[in-house]
């Protein structure tokens, strides 16, 4: 009898243990009720939904006139084995924090560095364009694989890298390389920072990377500092009474391209309190004008900013004698960012300018109102010589 009771007790314990294990392994279902929602002060291209067990990153405008939103489920690593999601409901399911990443634009590099996760960058297409000293050191040490060209990423190398995610960008959503990558099981997230309509909106995309690395508080703090510095510089510039007249851009073949008055570039000029001669224009994309109309309006402009890729007065003159007719050329008041480069030729402005509009604004204020920021040295812009 005692033996039977002992067997019964052991059987009961085994059943209890089995039930306990089954309960522990039970999958956590997808939440149907959103708990919190993160919108942003400036950026309009993405938002974050917080659920009990995971987050949803939604990209609204990855390129102009995008017809669909892209949704990505971000599941904490410690819950990855327990959370079950409907894969058809998402464009990707990603375990966070990210440990290995591939990005495809130099504008993505500063966010990784500012968040202290530059070491997670495992591959990049066209690494010579990267100007940052920190990431260049990682490249030189063999920590970042070269992936070829952005329009034709070497998928064989990328699959060998096997990142947790690829952060891409597109102009229309038709990218066969990204489709191949997705079919291999590696999620591709479209980053639409370049579509935003204001400098601070572009900079706020650091929060996009913040959520991928479980560093949302750090991303918020970094952006708040950038925003504060930008707005303080804008306030100082607003007190200046004289607005110098400004010309931008240059010709490509017979067409002069320059920012329209509602572009982020023109917004910075407005915030720097200058008289940009095409500030009243509207629309999307650059203005495309003939030389005669530009010359008629800007012949006497006091300053000329960002004359395309020309790196010297001599280069401008060789390209076209027409450039020498402007007062800004005669007075050597032409400033550009193209001469500020990394050791392999990458232009620093193209990498860092989007993330740090506060520095861009201060550069323009220093050039146009040198008395306002007396101790400031321009970071990107230099006078052409």
pLDDT at residue 84, rounded to an integer: 85
Is the pLDDT assigned to residue 261 strictly greater than 80? yes
Class of 240-383 in CATH: alpha beta
pLDDT at residue 16, rounded to an integer: 39
Contacts of 73 (CB under 8 A, 6+ apart): 54, 55, 56, 85, 89, 90, 92, 93, 94
CATH architecture of the domain with residue range 36-225: 3-Layer(aba) Sandwich (3.40)
Is the pLDDT assigned to residue 194 strictly greater than 70? yes
Average pLDDT of the chain, as a whole number: 90
pLDDT at residue 283, rounded to an integer: 83
- Coil vs helix vs strand at 55: strand
- Bridge partners (DSSP) of residue 365 are none
pLDDT at residue 83, rounded to an integer: 85
Q: Concatenate the DSSP letters of all residues of 90-112 into one string.
A: -SEEEEES-SSEEE-SGGGHHHH
User: Closest Cα to residue 246, out of 265, 227, 226, 233?
Assistant: 265
Range 95-117 average pLDDT: 97
Is the pLDDT assigned to residue 345 strictly greater than 50? yes
pLDDT at residue 25, rounded to an integer: 36
Q: CB–CB of 188/164 below 8 Å? A: no
For the stretch 113-124, pLDDT in tens is 999 999 999 999
- Residue 54's alpha-carbon distances to 49, 70, 88, 208, 371, in angstroms, are 9, 16, 16, 15, 51
- Residue 45's alpha-carbon distances to 125, 230, 273, 291, in angstroms, are 24, 21, 28, 35
Is the pLDDT assigned to residue 18 strictly greater than 50? no
- Coil vs helix vs strand at 154: coil
Q: 35: pLDDT confidence band, cut at 50, 70 and 90? A: low
- How far apart (Å, rounded) are the C-alpha atoms in residues 266 and 115? 29
For the stretch 291-342, pLDDT in tens is 999 999 999 999 999 999 999 999 999 999 999 999 999 999 999 999 999 9
For the stretch 150-168, pLDDT in tens is 778 999 999 999 999 999 9
**Annotated domain spans of the chain:** 36-225, 240-383
Query: Which is it for the CA torsion 318, 308, 378, 273, positive or negative?
Result: positive
Q: 36: pLDDT confidence band, cut at 50, 70 and 90? A: low
Instruction: State the pTM of this model.
Output: 0.89
Query: Up-side HSE of residue 125: CA atoms within 13 Å toward CB?
Result: 20
């Amino acid at each position: 009898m005692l033996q039977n009771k002992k067997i019964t007790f052991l059987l009961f314990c085994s059943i209890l243990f089995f039930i306990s294990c089954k309960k522990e392994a039970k999958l956590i279902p997808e939440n149907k009720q959103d708990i919190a929602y993160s919108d942003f002060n400036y950026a309009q291209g993405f938002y974050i939904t917080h659920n009990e067990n995971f987050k949803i990153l939604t990209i609204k405008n990855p390129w102009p006139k995008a017809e669909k939103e892209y949704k990505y489920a971000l599941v904490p690593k410690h819950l990855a084995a327990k959370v079950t999601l409907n894969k058809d409901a998402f464009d990707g399911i990603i375990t966070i924090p990210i440990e290995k990443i591939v990005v495809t634009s130099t504008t993505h590099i500063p966010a990784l560095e500012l968040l202290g996760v530059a070491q997670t960058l495992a591959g990049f297409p066209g690494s010579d364009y990267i100007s940052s000293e920190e990431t260049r050191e990682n490249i030189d040490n063999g920590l970042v694989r070269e992936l070829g060209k952005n329009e034709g990423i070497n998928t064989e190398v990328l699959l060998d890298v096997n990142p947790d995610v690829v952060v891409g960008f597109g102009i229309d959503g038709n990218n066969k390389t990204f489709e191949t990558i997705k079919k291999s099981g590696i999620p591709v997230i479209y980053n639409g920072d370049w579509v935003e309509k204001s400098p601070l909106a572009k900079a706020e995309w650091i929060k996009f990377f913040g959520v991928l690395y479980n560093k949302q508080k750090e991303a918020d703090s970094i952006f708040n500092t950038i925003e504060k510095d930008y707005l303080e510089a804008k306030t100082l510039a607003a007190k200046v009474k004289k607005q110098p007249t400004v010309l931008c851009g240059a010709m490509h073949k017979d067409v002069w391209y320059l920012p329209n008055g509602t572009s982020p570039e023109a917004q910075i000029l407005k915030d720097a309190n200058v008289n940009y001669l095409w500030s009243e224009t509207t629309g999307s994309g650059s203005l495309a004008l003939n030389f005669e109309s530009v010359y008629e309006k800007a012949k006497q402009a006091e300053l000329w900013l960002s004359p395309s890729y020309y790196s010297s007065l001599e280069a401008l003159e060789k390209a076209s004698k027409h450039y020498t007719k402007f007062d800004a050329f005669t007075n050597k008041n032409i400033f550009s960012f193209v001469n500020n480069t990394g050791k392999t030729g990458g232009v620093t402005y193209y990498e860092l300018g989007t993330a740090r509009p506060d520095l861009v604004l201060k550069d323009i204020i220093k050039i146009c109102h040198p008395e306002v920021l007396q101790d400031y040295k321009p970071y990107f812009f230099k006078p052409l010589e």
